[in-house]
Structure 1
Amino acid sequence: MFAGFDYGSSNCAIGVWQQNQVNLVPLEGKSHYIPSTLYALHPSLIVSQVHQNISSDVLKQDYQKSRQALLNSLPLVKSNLDLRDDECKIHLGREAIEEYIACPEEGHFVKSPKSFFGAVGLKQQQLDFFEDIACAMIMTLKQRAETYLDAELNHTVIGRPVNFQAIGGEKSNQQALTILSNAAVRAGFKNVDFLYEPLAAGIDFESRLETDKTVLVVDIGGGTTDCSLVKMGPSYRNNNDRQKDFLAHTGKRIGGNDLDINLAYHGLMPLFGSNTTLKSGIPMPNQPFWNACKINDVILQSEFYSSKNQRALSDFVLEVSEPLKFKRLLNLQRNKQGHQLVRTAELAKISLSSENEYLADLGFVENGLNHYIAQEQLASAIDSCITQVIHLVIDAIKQGGCQPDVIYLTGGSAQSPLIKAALKNALGDIPMLNGDHFGSVTAGLTKWAKQLFS
């Protein structure tokens, strides 16, 4: 059996072809979507779970050799953490978020792991870590889908952004694809293929077109924005080779997570002292505050939560003009609450798409701490991100050499009225259609898998 697998930056979903249509499989209770988050008390627990569930003897032996040190450390880790066998588990989705919020200072919490796969300068140990995370997630979700379907999933098409990173180019893309390929094969898929996410969304849209059109697909996901200019319609949809129909692709690592991070920095960090000064009158350096918010940068997060940085921030308190505010940043660092801060900004962003004002609850930082954020503040905070999205759209049209007949919007952040207004301002009155913001990519991946594997 084949499946479309949307291993997204914000959510994961699996689609299968049943009764001549795409059906999404429940992955978390009754929900077809599960947040792309993982929590484990120690990396060896992730490695152990992957090792136990690799079905191929050859792949298991190969994996054991490459991860022997972590597998050997498991008894000591269990002893040090006082873990029973039934507690040696990893957590995915909302369960992972709940575990992290309950004990933010312990364990490893990873949100949007795909955002890191193409990162430049990763050491082999870090590459192995992200490969293990991807495998543990894909393996677990594949098993849940197979249990629900009572059938084995052997083949899959996985969605990929046009570019995993703004820098690194094709080398970063190949690094990320290698991580995903290795993870999917270890998880039990015999055949793995990839498809650009905006093309997947476009393929789903194409099945409803009654006439041929040039379609600009704009997919604004959690970690990336991808644009594809594609010839679509009845004359094209049954072609197995669509390369000549794909006129242009552009993509960049800018997405919903970046909107949240920017709003967290501009809208919430003033409560932590970002807009204050040193006692000398010099403006406060912005780097500590950006590092706190940059949850999609593994290097900056490692630096921010290091013991060295904690000592530096503790010393720095003596130099600032408003130490009470700055101590909030120190507490945030000590308690590893950056993800909670950015999640608060995300909730504000969602609310401000329809409301004029949002009361952000920061009680997890300090009892009774809250702050109003207005729509105007959101617009100002994410203006630079929206500008980058518009540049990608315009570049795709220039590369394609023709104007689109219609703009097809998909991805969670494509719902933003600010983004739609910016697109209209840049492109004029080209019709804009909304897709299934979360399901269109999965549906397209599944339809492409049908063409490849059925």
Structure 2
Amino acid sequence: MTTLSCGIDFGTSNSSIALANDGEISLVPVEQTHVTIPSAIFFQRADNKAFYGRTAVNLFFDRQQGRFMRSLKRVLGTPLMKHGTVVNGTTMNFSGIIASFLKKMKEKADAVAGQEIENVVMGRPVHFVDNSPESDAQAQAELREIALRIGFKTVEFQFEPIAAAFAHEAQLTGEKLAIVADLGGGTSDFTVIRLSRQSVRKTDRSSDILANTGVRVGGNDFDKDLSLAAIMPELGYRSRYGDKQLEVPLKPFHDLAEWSKVNFLYTPKLIMQTRQLLFQSHDKKRYKRLLSVLENETGHAVLAATEGAKIALTDQAEYATPFDFVETDFVIPIRRTLFETAIFGEVEKIVASATECLQNAGVRQQDIDLVILTGGSTEVPLIQAEFKRLFPNAAIADENKLSSVGLGLAYDSQSKFGRNSTRQIASV
């Protein structure tokens, strides 16, 4: 009988699923021919029908009527999982929303496999929630329940950076002491691990995995920092109002700069408050832009433009970011130097977590032979420069940035669920 299992990388920004079928590992096309899918859902206003991935993104930016949701992974382990949200007038819980997204991916994999897949290894960050073991355990339990809910019978977990290491290991010649830096949309995770091609089929890797660390900082935080530094001031952030020269409320701007909070801004109460403050504003031109965003529900478009600027600044020293959906001919020029200054504190946290991983593993920077960079945030020039500075003698591997975790989880599922597996591989 065929031994079949899969690995699912449910990411903050992008997701993937890979099959392990009698030793063959392959990514599943989850959206047309694409093997990754944006972790996004759009609920159509007319009937609450759900659309996923690129289709969801396109419907939203085509200004179709409905509710757009992203960064759902960041809700796991938080009180929002219990409170739920209102979608087009209907109360929905986040467990069901996430389940619908993952079920769509599973259906694609089942169709490719030609049968129902019962065994899965789910990827997880080293910390879903920083400094809270209880919330972290809760997040994993919630994700396990969702996986069972959509039809899996057996659910295991693996740290995402370990999975990325497994994906690269199959291509190695010789032995390497590696550090994996997995910088996604919501978290940055690190693993120090001994790799060799001969170890791919080992069922017990616990002696090879020397240390894991992680911090809840990722690309979404870079977006927020850039937004608050360059975009929000042009919408009236930190401007003044009234005779007493009071600072305008800051919370709406902070929420507008964060993917997981934008949907909660469009309330009659906040819009009315913003209209009232506009009359007393000392910077009516800019503050009126905030009102426009709230009234027209274009917060996600603001964030998308900010993310676009971040991506453009990977290759360009300066980028003119268009915001014509807020105001005609409205453009904000942004320099890479401003972006790097804005994210410097987050980068320090990332570097500190990587350094802690080395210390926990009992190895020195010069001992590392290979640095494996995975996740879209590793494209940021400042991040790349920091890792080259930290590990000047190591080779850098950064292929398959968005799909290596999914592939590695499938390799891990093969070890866990394969015919000869004793299921002793180090896992969560």
TM-score, structure 1 as length reference: 0.83
Counterpart amino acid of residue 413 in structure 1: S
Q: Given that residues 134 and 179 in structure 1 are in contact (C-alpha distance below 8 angstroms), is that contact kept between their aligned partners in structure 2?
A: no
Q: Given that residues 223 and 256 in structure 1 are in contact (C-alpha distance below 8 angstroms), is that contact kept between their aligned partners in structure 2?
A: yes
Q: Any gaps of 5 or more consecutive residues in structure 2?
A: 86-91, 419-428
Q: Any gaps of 5 or more consecutive residues in structure 1?
A: 43-80
More helix by share: 1
Q: Given that residues 130 and 179 in structure 1 are in contact (C-alpha distance below 8 angstroms), is that contact kept between their aligned partners in structure 2?
A: no
Equivalents in 2 of 1:370, 1:181: separation in Å? 45
Matched, 1:330 2:294: no
Matched, 1:35 2:26: no
Q: Given that residues 20 and 413 in structure 2 are in contact (C-alpha distance below 8 angstroms), is that contact kept between their aligned partners in structure 1?
A: no
Q: Given that residues 294 and 301 in structure 1 are in contact (C-alpha distance below 8 angstroms), is that contact kept between their aligned partners in structure 2?
A: no
Counterpart amino acid of residue 9 in structure 2: D
Equivalents in 1 of 2:67, 2:332: separation in Å? 29
* Cα shift at 1:208: 2.4
Cα distance change on mapping 1:244 and 1:307 into 2, 3 Å = farther
1:314-356 residue CA offsets vs partner (Å, 9 max, x unmatched): 2211232111210111121222222211111111111111112
Matched, 1:391 2:352: yes
**Greater shift after overlay, 208-217 or 29-38?**
208-217
* Cα shift at 1:374: 1.6
1:196-215 matched pairs, under 5 angstroms: 196-215=159-178
More strand by share: 2
TM-score, structure 2 as length reference: 0.88
Matched, 1:114 2:77: no
- In the alignment, which of 12, 16, 25 is matched to residue 15 of structure 2? 12
In structure 1, the partner of 2:6 is 3
Equivalents in 2 of 1:328, 1:376: separation in Å? 25
* Cα shift at 1:22: 2.1
3-state DSSP class of the match of 1:382?
Answer: helix
Counterpart amino acid of residue 117 in structure 1: L
Counterpart amino acid of residue 139 in structure 2: A
**Greater shift after overlay, 95-104 or 323-332?**
95-104
3-state DSSP class of the match of 1:243?
Answer: coil
Q: Given that residues 158 and 192 in structure 1 are in contact (C-alpha distance below 8 angstroms), is that contact kept between their aligned partners in structure 2?
A: yes
Matched, 1:356 2:317: yes
Counterpart amino acid of residue 241 in structure 2: L
Equivalents in 2 of 1:394, 1:301: separation in Å? 36
3-state DSSP class of the match of 1:152?
Answer: coil
* Cα shift at 1:429: 3.8
Q: Given that residues 180 and 373 in structure 2 are in contact (C-alpha distance below 8 angstroms), is that contact kept between their aligned partners in structure 1?
A: yes
- In the alignment, which of 132, 136, 141 is matched to residue 105 of structure 2? 141
Counterpart amino acid of residue 97 in structure 1: V
Equivalents in 2 of 1:417, 1:124: separation in Å? 39
1:410-449 matched pairs, under 5 angstroms: 410-449=374-413
Cα distance change on mapping 1:281 and 1:305 into 2, 3 Å = same
* Cα shift at 1:442: 0.9
Identity %: 29
1:260-318 residue CA offsets vs partner (Å, 9 max, x unmatched): 1211221211221225433555555543321211223x4x853x333322222222112
In structure 1, the partner of 2:425 is none
Root-mean-square deviation (CA, aligned residues, Å) is: 2.2
Equivalents in 2 of 1:385, 1:124: separation in Å? 29
In structure 1, the partner of 2:127 is 163
1:121-147 residue CA offsets vs partner (Å, 9 max, x unmatched): 346343971210121111111112222
Matched, 1:100 2:41: no
* Cα shift at 1:4: 1.3
3-state DSSP class of the match of 1:262?
Answer: helix
Q: Given that residues 292 and 333 in structure 1 are in contact (C-alpha distance below 8 angstroms), is that contact kept between their aligned partners in structure 2?
A: no
Q: Given that residues 220 and 258 in structure 2 are in contact (C-alpha distance below 8 angstroms), is that contact kept between their aligned partners in structure 1?
A: no
Equivalents in 2 of 1:216, 1:355: separation in Å? 29
Q: Number of residue pairs matched? A: 405
1:393-421 residue CA offsets vs partner (Å, 9 max, x unmatched): 11111111112332211111112221011
Equivalents in 1 of 2:133, 2:42: separation in Å? 30
Counterpart amino acid of residue 126 in structure 1: G
